[in-house]
Amino acid sequence: MFYPPNLIDRELDRVFAKIKEKNMLKETNEEKIFDNLAYVMTELNIIHSFREGNGCSIREFIRLMAKRMRYDLNWGNVDKTELLEASIRSVDDYRVLTGILKQCKKNNSST
């Protein structure tokens, strides 16, 4: 279930405010980083702001967020069906995406 179009702006503002409020882009704890990424990914998926291309747009946004925190993600590290199923299940608990995101981790360039 996705938000109706009239709520998209409000819900995007809420998610971006939470990113700023929790200072997510400056987080250094790996567990919190992947928890935050899973949360944002789930919320953006539920908002579903585009008619087409939501998955690609969301994955790129999450990849760029991770890169900002010195993590490189490779979506090819995870099976597409597994990612889709986790995205569907994340509506009930966003943390199911945490393991998927960790599988996508190529390396931590700070080590």
| Domains of the chain and any CATH numbers | 5-106 (1.10.3290.10)
What does the pLDDT read at residue 52?
86
What does the pLDDT read at residue 108?
46
Residues in the chain: 111
Kindly report the pTM of this predicted structure.
0.90
What does the pLDDT read at residue 2?
87
Q: How many CA atoms lie within 13 A of 79 on its CB side?
A: 4
| Residues 62 and 101: beta-carbon distance below 8 Å | yes
Dump the DSSP string for 38-91. HHHHHHHHHH---SS-HHHHHHHHHHHHHHHTTEEE-GGGS-HHHHHHHHHHTT
- Print pLDDT tens along the chain (111 aa): 788 999 999 999 999 999 999 999 999 999 999 999 999 999 999 999 887 889 999 999 999 999 999 999 999 999 999 999 999 999 999 999 999 999 999 854 443
